[in-house]
Amino acid sequence: MEPHAASLDPLVDAPAAADMAHAGAHLHAVSLKGEFVAMLRLGVPLAAANLLQMAVYAIDVIFVAQLGTKQLAAITLATSVYGISIFCSLGLIGAVAPMAATALGRGRHALREMRRSFRMGLWMSAFAGIFVMIVALGGEPLMHATGQDPEVANMAGDYLQILSIAAIPVVASNVLRIFVSTLDKAVIATWVTVLALVVNSFGNWVLIFGNLGAPALGLRGAALASLITGLAVLAAYIAIIQADRHMRRHYLFGRLWKPDWPRLAEIWRIGLPIAALTLAEGGLFGAAAFLTGALGALQLAAHTVALQLAALAFQVPFGFGQAATIRVGLHNGAGSHRGVHLAGIAIVTLTLGLAIVFALAMVLIPHTLLSIYIDIDDTSSAELLSIATALMLIAAGFQLFDGAQAVLAGLLRGLADTRIPFVFAVIGYWVCGFVTAWYLAFHTDLGAKGVWIGLATGLFVTSLLMGWRWHRRERLGLVTGTI
């Protein structure tokens, strides 16, 4: 166990403790207007960072697509293996957010408790990164075993060998992103992601095609660019934290070598259900692709295009859900029932309002949105456009439920309530959503539309269950304090 924070460096920690005491006192004076402002200040940069992160991933696809269809297929297979393991790992270290926010809201020994959580979060990022590396290195044998094209599988394996090295920096960077966001500096996450976009674009241009005298590495160049980007992002977070006098006061990297097994176990206890929930949701959408693929290449293509747009819209409520975890954790740590209540009102109102805007866009201008991926003037794309448009209308219908389940999960996470929401996710996504999708796809004439109705059903049931638990949070004893 670590000694009290003040004994580590009283000249440094005392001002930081005073800052935290001021922050805790401010939480007790919360108002609905103030909570809206706080949610926007925290949620907008996080949502922007999520959208930019999607652009970072898209850059790889755009550059690799110029190499040929087999290279594009290889990176698609590789990122599907790498992506799901990374997102599960990010769910695991996501436990740090409510733990740190609750400590900050509580005020007492906040420096010490936050430091313990973030240091062990960095330890957990190393363990999680090793898990991702193992999964990534096992990707090629899995592809061969499932009957993928041998040449494509070999290229994907080469790509994953390099990309797997980026796992620990990527997960560790997300721990530091939680740190800056908890200290109300989420805009840093936005600018660091802009840096990632620039570095990844330049790296792909140089290393894939051999520009500026570099060797033309093709698909390996794309993987190397992603590795360099991951290292650059981690270095940027460390440099920014060390350069900022308020964040430097937390002495985050001091005694990083020292284990804190009880705190590591607590991160595991809270984070494992978050990772499992991520797997349940990601698994449903992955299964939806397989179901649609069994219906034919055309329907799968329409599914892929429509899902890209739905995923883009989802990044906004996902970012606000991350903000909700921090705000609720702060209020819960301060023992403010009113603060927790107002945080819920603010985030749900904001998210549903934005979801309505996205839904209207999908209903009113579906062809404009689909033109990003489909040549709508090409007559040969008419059938693809027709199917994708129908899926967009269903996507518009589930925007409210998708946004609601994202922020409700974030709100409950702020109370460190993660196990029951995981059970709800399994019930909603798989018992209701997948079964409905399978039945409608293969036992009716709906085809891909049936799969998407199944997705909507899963999101609807999950949002209802999450909403019920949030509504009964005090009766279930999830909220601490009496204020």
Q: How confident is the model at residue 481, as a pLDDT? A: 58
| pLDDT for 405 beyond 90 | yes
Q: Is the same domain home to 239 and 276?
A: no
Res 188 pLDDT > 90: yes
Listed residue (180, 190, 169, 172) closest to 92, CA to CA: 172
> What is residue 377's predicted lDDT score, i.e. its pLDDT?
78
pTM higher than the cut 0.75: yes
Share of the chain above pLDDT 90, in %: 59
**Nearby residues of 353 by Cβ (< 8 Å), 6 or more positions away:** none
Report, as an integer, the average pLDDT of 28-55.
Answer: 87
Residue 16's pLDDT is: 47
pLDDT value of position 15: 47
Could you tell me which residue, 407 or 482, shows the higher pLDDT? 407
Residues 112 and 190 in one domain: yes
How far is CA 464 from each of CA 84, 343, 383, 402, rounded to the nearest angstrom?
A: 25, 19, 35, 11
Is residue 397, in this structure, part of any structural domain at all? yes
CA distances from 311 to 26, 267, 461 (A): 36, 28, 19
Q: What is the mean pLDDT of residues 282-305?
A: 82
The two structure tokens encoding residue 211: 């520009």
Domain endpoint, select from 237, 259, 281: 259
Give the confidence band of 19 by pLDDT, cuts at 50, 70, 90: very low
Please report whether residue 336 resides in a domain.
yes
Shared domain check, 475 and 329: yes
Of 114, 82, 259, nearest to 182 by C-alpha is 114
- The average pLDDT across 324-341 equals 92
Q: How many domains does the chain have?
A: 2
Closest Cα partner for 290 from 157, 444, 448, 440?
A: 448
What residue numbers bound the domain in which 225 lies?
1-31+43-259
The answer to whether residues 241 and 278 belong to one domain is no
Q: Give the position of tokens 């110029």.
A: 66
| Residues 236 and 379 grouped into a single domain | no
pLDDT computed for residue 304 by the predictor: 79
DSSP string, 170-239: HHHHHHHHHHHHHTT-THHHHHHHHHHHHHHHHHHHHHHHTGGG----THHHHHHHHHHHHHHHHHHHHH
Whether residue 224 is found in the same domain as residue 356: no
164 and 21 Cβ atoms separated by less than 8 Å: no
Is there a contact between 304 and 72 (Cβ–Cβ < 8 Å)? no
Residues 190 and 156 both lie in one domain: yes
Q: What is the dihedral of CA 439, 444, 450, 453, to 10 degrees?
A: -80
pLDDT of residue 12: 41
Q: What average pLDDT does the segment 169-173 reach?
A: 96
Of 317, 347, 341, nearest to 470 by C-alpha is 341
Residue 181: pLDDT band (50, 70, 90) is: very high
Q: What is the DSSP string of 254-317?
A: TTTTS--HHHHHHHHHHHHHHHHHHHHHHHHHHHHHHHHHTT-HHHHHHHHHHHHHHHHHHHHH
pLDDT digits (tens, 9 = 90+) for 73-115: 788 778 878 888 998 999 999 999 999 999 888 876 778 888 9
Q: What is the mean pLDDT of residues 312-319?
A: 91
pLDDT tens digits for range 350-387: 999 999 999 999 999 998 988 877 777 777 778 888 88
Q: Exposed, middle or buried, 231 (CB in 10 Å: 0-12/13-18/19+)? A: middle
Q: What angle do CA 195, 312, 139 make, to 5 degrees?
A: 75
Q: What is the mean pLDDT of the chain?
A: 87
Per-residue confidence at 20, pLDDT binned at 50, 70, 90?
A: very low
Check whether residue 213 and residue 182 sit in a common domain. yes
The more confidently predicted of residues 203 and 109 is 203
For residues 200 and 178, the answer to whether their CB atoms sit within 8 Å is no
Q: Does 457 lie in the same domain as 418?
A: yes
DSSP 379: G
| Ramachandran assignment for 374, one of left (phi > 0), alpha (psi -120 to 50 degrees), beta (any other) | beta
pLDDT, position 414: 94
* Residue 27: band (very low, low, confident or very high) from pLDDT cuts 50, 70, 90: low
Neighbouring C-alpha atoms within 13 Å toward the C-beta of 13:
19
Question: Is the dihedral angle over the CA atoms 44, 45, 50, 56 positive or is it negative?
Answer: positive
How many degrees, rounded to 5, is the angle at CA 66 between CA 61 and CA 67?
Answer: 100
The answer to whether position 184 is within a domain reads: yes
* Domain end (from 238, 259, 280): 259
Residue 386 within any structural domain of the chain: yes
CA dist., res. 269 & res. 92, Å (int)? 9
Q: 44 CB contacts (<8 Å, ≥6 apart)?
A: 319
**Of 130-144, 218-232, 272-286, highest mean pLDDT:** 218-232
Give the model confidence (pLDDT) of 430-452 as tens digits.
999 999 999 999 999 998 899 99
Query: Does 363 map to a domain?
Result: yes
- The pLDDT assigned to 482 comes to 52
Residue 147 neighbours by CB under 8 Å, 6+ apart? none
Distance separating alpha carbons of residues 278 and 422, to the nearest angstrom: 9
pLDDT: which is higher, 217 or 303: 217
In a shared domain, residues 176 and 115: yes
pLDDT above 60: residue 153: yes
SS3 89: helix
pLDDT on residue 75: 83
- pLDDT confidence of residue 221: 94
Give dist(CA 50, CA 37) in Å, integer.
20
Half-sphere exposure of 311 (CA within 13 A, CB side): 17
Residue 55 lies in a domain: yes
In this structure, of 197-211, 246-260, 265-279, the range with the lowest mean pLDDT score is 246-260
pLDDT at 99: 92
287 found inside a domain: yes
Task: Please check whether residues 77 and 188 belong to one and the same domain.
Answer: yes
